[in-house]
Structure 1
């Protein structure tokens, strides 16, 4: 009997560790769902005035309602959408009725409409402040001269379009441009793979126990012969 004790303990301890990792991922899932719910509530909250002092941590997703005008000029951010293909986010300068110049992410247009004439002038905007994290280690540098942007680098965009380094992502623009589809802020782009990780750890625990049982059965048969 003692010859089975070591593999049995090894199997149970290993499975216990894997189950523990799965339970930890379920706890992380519960935490992430709470974070996403808070973000969704923040996005849908009542509009607030544009901040004077900028604090990305506190003001991220802050809803705003603006009255002013869309000015000529734009930065085209290269993006790709499922079932549609390549296109551009159009970021334009926007002057509020209070005289502030900010960046306005108007939304998506297809590659065919890259050089189309944009609607400018008076416009009411509902949207959210955001500081997008578009850049990673493989993102190319923006081609400012060629107006091809690979990331919404707010400081660089503000310098190019001569605005404050403050970006509003439009949820609704009235009147809108029929060739631009708003891409409002939401939580769909925030990774939430904790359930998948949990199922992976639980599956490994089952496989670990199965292999342990298989080994013990083989050991027993070897001992009988």
Structure 2
């Protein structure tokens, strides 16, 4: 019985240490993610700069930029939803620039049922943020390329269809069409940050494990004492 008691104490301590360490790891991950979000928000709010020569998805994501050129070609629709407006479409179109070639502009959001506003003609200057969206998963339907309808902002596919660089700027200011077009700037709300919840889960499991292990060890110790008597 004494050997079983010692084994239970060791097992209980090991399990508790493991669960607490997992909770501590999630706290460290939470601190890291909050730092990432803070850097992104600082980058988004910064004064716009010229488009980098070779934009990098890690170093330049969400960077505020200013591009000038003319809208060309067809408008692609990306089925989506926006708080306060419901279902609708992001409008994606090519912007031909003299300095940076042709790139994708997310002109904004149009609620479902509203007519699609045409892009302005002539030269425009767009202020926005670089974005490499990660919106696709195994359940995302294939796009209808002929109709220009996508179900995620798949930059490489849309760039291939419109003949632009695989680069997207999400407009936050500048002319891009009137009508029902709503500015839909980038934000950090969509960045997953579940580490707080995971930490609470691991610490809760550690507390439950401590209580259950303590109760088991108490019963075993009591039984051992009774037999010894």
**TM-score class normalised by the smaller sequence:** 0.7 to 0.9
Residues 141 and 175 (structure 1), Cα distance of their counterparts in 2 relative to 1, 3 Å cut: closer
TM-score by length of 2: 0.85
Residue 40 of structure 2: SS of its match in structure 1? helix
| Contact 1:88–1:111 (CA under 8 A) maintained in structure 2 | yes
Distance in 2 of aligned mates of 1:65 and 1:57 = 19
Matches within 5 A, 1:39-58: 39-58=40-59
Aligned equivalent of 1:116: 116
Q: 1:110: how far off? A: 1.3
Aligned equivalent of 1:29: 30
Matched length? 224
| Contact 1:132–1:152 (CA under 8 A) maintained in structure 2 | yes
Distance in 2 of aligned mates of 1:179 and 1:70 = 18
Q: 1:105: how far off? A: 0.2
| Contact 2:104–2:165 (CA under 8 A) maintained in structure 1 | yes
Distance in 1 of aligned mates of 2:27 and 2:153 = 34
| Contact 1:75–1:148 (CA under 8 A) maintained in structure 2 | yes
Distance in 2 of aligned mates of 1:4 and 1:164 = 67
1:100-135 CA distance string (max 9 Å, x none): 33211012111112x433342243321011221122
| Contact 1:32–1:192 (CA under 8 A) maintained in structure 2 | yes
Q: 1:65: how far off? A: 1.6
Structure 1 stretches of 5 or more lacking a match?
none
Distance in 2 of aligned mates of 1:8 and 1:55 = 52
Q: Which is further off, 71-80 or 2-11?
A: 2-11
Distance in 2 of aligned mates of 1:95 and 1:152 = 19
| Contact 2:109–2:182 (CA under 8 A) maintained in structure 1 | yes
Q: 1:152: how far off? A: 2.0
Structure 2 stretches of 5 or more lacking a match?
none
Distance in 2 of aligned mates of 1:151 and 1:173 = 24
Residue 125 of structure 2: SS of its match in structure 1? strand
TM-score by length of 1: 0.86
Residues 170 and 55 (structure 1), Cα distance of their counterparts in 2 relative to 1, 3 Å cut: same
| Contact 2:170–2:185 (CA under 8 A) maintained in structure 1 | yes
Q: RMSD value over aligned CA atoms?
A: 2.5
